[in-house]
Amino acid sequence: MNAPAAAHHLLPEFHPQPVPQALLDALAARFGAQCSTALAVREQHGRDEGSIQAPPPAAVVFAENTQDVADAIRLAGAHGVPVIPYGAGSSLEGHLLAVQGGISIDVGRMNRVLSVNADDLTVTVQPGITRKQLNEAIKDTGLFFPIDPGADASIGGMAATRASGTNAVRYGTMRENVLALEAVTASGEVIHTGTRAKKSAAGYDLTRLLVGSEGTLGIMTEITVRLYPLPEAVSAAICSFPSIEAAVRTVIQTIQLGVPIARVELIDANTVRMVNAHSKLTLREEPMLLMEFHGTPAGVQEQAETVQELAGEQGGNAFEWATTPEERTRLWTARHNAYFAAVQSRPGCRAISTDTCVPISRLADCLLDSVAEADASGIPYFLVGHVGDGNFHFGYLIDPNDAQEREKAEALNHQLVARALRLGGTCTGEHGVGIHKMGFLLDETGAGAVEMMRAIKRALDPQNILNPGKIFAL
């Protein structure tokens, strides 16, 4: 990095407060075998898929219902001790790290489908169900839940981080797809927000306030999300391009024309190589778009023809089609494993993921300059992107024991975020702020908006016990 990071970009030091024995005794009395202080259990609940480490929580409560969550929060609150919700552990920004100490509330056992309302295209679930479990549970309804962040995340975790992923270009993010919530507040009270109606103007949008609040304003215990009819026809296609720029320009025009493409993912040549090695595929090792079209048979054909024409103008090859569900699954699994493929390409490495998202017309500017910087740095990386939304991820593959490499990677990330913000974008399209992006959030919104967030946090959680130390410093 050319200049030292501004103070607000430095990671805060973690000073976990010890948890009083009296609370551990009270939890043991209330929860019995549902509460564990075993080190292995605590360590499992004290890390995520990101690159930051912190001491584990002092105990883990395995909640089985809303009352369990409420009681755990009340007991912790009585001792002023933090509580951190835990779903599938797949977050990337340190969301579930016990940076101020406290206890973890694992909602993994709360994984039931509470009601399928197929006629209304809604389903109400507990927070611990994963997206794959949900789709498996509703597969006989002719409906599906489209949000797909890659990892088999829990619906609660996805709501809490405002997740999205490959299908968001067509179906939106958790912001658009969560209709209603039950949540437990900092005082242990159970509240309900939203209804199953598709729209509402009934007061403050508490549903949207809780979605993306990363467990800092309440712990979700029931979530109602929208479902969609399984499309009559689905086609997936691969298209290789002579350059990243050519691929990106094709995407920009596709979006500007309003083609309702369901998925459009960019994978750069080097990442295709990693994916081939990991998933035993023989994809052409060039910049690639992986696309999916949903609709009626005629509609899908029409969409694909339009995009093929745009791609052809940019020098894209003829589409290669994945027509059977099995072929499609194989392709998308390979895409979703890009992260693991990349990490395996450099044994012992950790990935530092970026998550910028820019207005669609700025995608090429943002991406190409950042590719040039990453190439110049000499740090190996992967590059994938939900480019239809203007969102992409570099993963810098660093040796975690090499401070210089980490610093270089963080510098690349800083330059990329600064560029995205200059271009009217955001530091995080879908991973959330967590610990890692608190400084970027300030850069992005300015102090006024962050101060408003802090005021809301203080009002709703005066003791600061709900996942403290995330999103902003208090």
Neighbour tally for 28: CB within 10 Å = 15
Residue 208 CB, shortest distance to its own copies, in Å, is 4
Residue 21 CB, shortest distance to its own copies, in Å, is 32
Residue holding tokens 């202080």?
A: 37
Yes or no: say if 310 and 217 are a contact pair by the CB < 8 Å rule.
no
For residues 379 and 460, which CB has a smaller minimum distance to its own copies in the complex? 460
Residue 247 CB, shortest distance to its own copies, in Å, is 18
438 vs 441: CA distance, rounded Å: 5
Residue 390 CB, shortest distance to its own copies, in Å, is 6
Residue holding tokens 């599938």?
A: 88
192 three-state secondary structure? strand
For residues 179 and 272, which CB has a smaller minimum distance to its own copies in the complex? 179
For residues 31 and 440, which CB has a smaller minimum distance to its own copies in the complex? 440
For residues 111 and 122, which CB has a smaller minimum distance to its own copies in the complex? 122
Write 372-378 long-range contacts (CB < 8 A, 24+): 373/412, 373/415, 373/416, 374/412, 377/408, 377/409, 377/412
DSSP secondary structure code for residue 389 in this structure: G
Neighbour tally for 171: CB within 10 Å = 21
For residues 120 and 399, which CB has a smaller minimum distance to its own copies in the complex? 120
75 vs 12: CA distance, rounded Å: 27
126 vs 108: CA distance, rounded Å: 9
Segment holding 105, helix H or strand E: strand 103-106
N- to C-terminal Cα distance for the chain? 28
For residues 20 and 172, which CB has a smaller minimum distance to its own copies in the complex? 172
Residue 145 CB, shortest distance to its own copies, in Å, is 14
Which neighbouring-strand residues pair with 452? none
Residue 272 CB, shortest distance to its own copies, in Å, is 25
For residues 33 and 459, which CB has a smaller minimum distance to its own copies in the complex? 459
Residue 35 CB, shortest distance to its own copies, in Å, is 26
For residues 84 and 334, which CB has a smaller minimum distance to its own copies in the complex? 84
Residue 101 CB, shortest distance to its own copies, in Å, is 23
Q: Give the sign of the dihedral formed by CA 90, CA 93, CA 95, CA 97.
A: positive
Structure tokens of 78? 């009585």
224 vs 31: CA distance, rounded Å: 27
40 three-state secondary structure? helix
